[in-house]
């Protein structure tokens, strides 16, 4: 960790990155990520650490703040309770929780749910238009059954945090984030035991963003870049089926398909596993992208890939798996999105090196995924930006390329 990050961590009261004790197959790790200034959050950004019940976010006044600043406020629990394996985060005006199925039934929890391994991922929309019945049921659960207190990190614009703390004032004595040089602590009476402590740090730091990292299959990234790990969930491909025919490249890319006419063989077990992991992960999460500044300016093409947050309407409007392609089709797509790498004579760096032009027979598969992101959420990315994920038949690496 460099000196700048140490200083930021010290000012935020963060000594180390915390690991969540969450079962394999769900959000396994939470990091405090220092994002690029390109992420369009208003400055300055305030960080607050609160010990509270999850019901705090359903208090009508706090709920009003979340609805007023849906893209400015984010919160995540910094630990989990072994008794219930509960983990929660609030992002984009939605609360996400993970619970074991027995805990979900025990607490009488509400919200839409999807089974992921041994866990249930529960989604509770907090925005306008959400049924009062759902919110009332969730409030009842947080007040009567799931009453554990969690250490919660909250981040956002100073205005949003100040508003949240102001609205929560009637149930706690949280201080306002106005120039406090060191954390303050307030203890509530038993009758108003919603939150116990808060450590606001009103410093104009670079925007903060909390993300969850899963650990299963390692994905390759360019040298010097951070890697991601791809989990495995509900299969989207049939491992027993043979390789599907190569589809035409999407018309929006303006590239004709040049599929070679030869018999396809069944995919190798390794390749099947890689494709399953990749496509399952794509279907589950919202991939967020930070442009990388390598000291010579921001790299306009290759980015640091980090995730995952659950898929939300505010995060991903469209996720499309374009299909299975041959290496020559991969190059056609690469030329379309990055014309300067189309020449065989030019030595290419980054993910495009995974497309070996001298050994086409050994390459068979690429999955192309197009995302349409709201620009105000994802730091200047344009709608229709394209990820090209390459899975070489002969290797174990997965690569990504951003248009």
The predicted pLDDT at position 28 comes to 27
Query: Could you read off the pLDDT tens digit of each residue along the chain, which spans 403 residues?
Result: 344 333 333 333 332 223 223 223 222 223 333 332 222 333 445 556 667 778 888 887 778 878 887 777 777 776 555 455 567 777 778 888 777 766 666 666 767 777 666 667 778 888 877 777 788 888 887 877 777 777 776 766 667 766 666 655 544 433 333 333 222 323 333 333 333 333 333 322 222 222 222 222 333 333 333 333 322 222 222 333 333 333 343 343 333 334 333 333 344 455 444 444 444 333 332 233 333 344 444 333 333 233 333 333 333 323 333 333 344 544 554 444 344 333 333 333 333 333 333 333 333 334 433 333 333 333 333 333 344 444 333 333 333 333 2
Query: For residues 335 and 329, what is the distance between their CA atoms, to the nearest angstrom?
Result: 10
The predicted pLDDT at position 52 comes to 74
Query: For residues 343 and 304, what is the distance between their CA atoms, to the nearest angstrom?
Result: 25
DSSP letter at 81 equals: B
CB-based contact 203:11 (threshold 8 Å): yes
List the alpha helices (DSSP H) in 72-203: 101-107, 132-144, 158-167
The predicted pLDDT at position 50 comes to 67
The predicted pLDDT at position 115 comes to 67
The predicted pLDDT at position 383 comes to 38
For 288, the enclosing helix (H) or strand (E) is: strand 285-293
The predicted pLDDT at position 116 comes to 63
Tokens of residue 260, six digits: 């070679």
Query: For residues 301 and 321, what is the distance between their CA atoms, to the nearest angstrom?
Result: 21
* E strands in 117-267: 119-125, 149-157, 184-185, 195-198, 201-205, 208-213, 217-219, 228-230
The predicted pLDDT at position 211 comes to 26
Sign of CA dihedral 351, 353, 354, 357: positive
**DSSP calls for 14-41:** --SPPBP---TTS--EEEEEE--TTS--
CB-based contact 352:268 (threshold 8 Å): no
Count the Cβ atoms, other than its own, within 10 Å of residue 179.
8
Count the Cβ atoms, other than its own, within 10 Å of residue 258.
14
Sign of CA dihedral 226, 48, 151, 96: negative
Q: Which bin fits 380, alpha (ψ -120 to 50), beta or left (φ > 0)?
A: left
Domain boundaries, the chain: 3-210, 216-402
CB-based contact 244:236 (threshold 8 Å): no
Let me know how long the chain is.
403
């Amino acid at each position: 960790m460099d000196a700048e990050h140490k200083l930021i961590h010290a000012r935020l009261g963060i000594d180390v990155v915390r690991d969540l004790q969450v079962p394999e197959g769900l959000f396994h790790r939470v990091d405090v990520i220092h994002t690029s200034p390109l992420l369009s959050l208003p400055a300055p950004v305030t960080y607050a650490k609160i010990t509270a019940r999850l019901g705090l976010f359903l208090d009508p006044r706090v709920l009003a703040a979340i609805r007023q600043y849906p893209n400015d406020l984010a919160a995540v629990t910094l630990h989990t309770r072994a008794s219930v394996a509960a983990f929660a985060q609030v992002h984009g005006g939605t609360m996400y929780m993970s619970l074991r199925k027995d805990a979900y039934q025990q607490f009488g929890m509400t919200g839409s749910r999807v089974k992921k391994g041994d866990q249930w991922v529960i989604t509770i929309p907090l925005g306008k238009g959400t049924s009062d019945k759902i919110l009332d049921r969730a409030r009842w659960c947080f007040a009567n059954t799931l009453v554990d207190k969690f250490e919660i990190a909250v981040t956002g614009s100073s205005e949003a945090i100040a508003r949240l703390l102001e609205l929560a004032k009637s149930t706690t004595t949280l201080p306002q984030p106005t120039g406090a040089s060191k954390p303050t602590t307030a203890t509530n009476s038993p009758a108003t035991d919603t939150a116990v402590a808060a450590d606001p740090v009103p410093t104009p730091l670079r925007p903060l963003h909390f993300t969850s990292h899963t650990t299963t299959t390692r994905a390759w990234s360019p040298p010097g870049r951070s890697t991601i790990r791809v989990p495995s969930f509900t299969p989207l491909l049939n491992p027993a089926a043979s390789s599907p025919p190569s589809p035409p490249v999407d018309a929006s890319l303006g590239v004709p398909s040049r599929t070679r006419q030869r018999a396809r063989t069944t995919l190798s077990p390794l390749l099947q596993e890689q494709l399953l992991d990749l496509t399952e992960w794509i279907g589950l999460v919202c991939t967020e992208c930070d442009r990388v500044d390598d000291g010579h300016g921001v790299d306009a093409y290759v980015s640091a890939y980090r995730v995952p947050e659950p898929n939300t309407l505010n995060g991903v409007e469209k996720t499309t798996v374009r299909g299975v392609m041959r290496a020559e089709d991969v190059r056609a797509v690469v030329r379309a999105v990055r014309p300067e790498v189309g020449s065989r004579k030019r030595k290419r760096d980054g993910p495009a090196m995974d497309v070996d032009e001298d050994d086409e027979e050994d390459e068979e598969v690429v999955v192309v995924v197009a995302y349409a992101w709201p620009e105000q959420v994802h730091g200047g990315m344009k709608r229709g930006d394209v990820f090209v994920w390459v899975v070489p038949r002969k290797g174990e690496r997965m690569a990504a390329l951003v248009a």
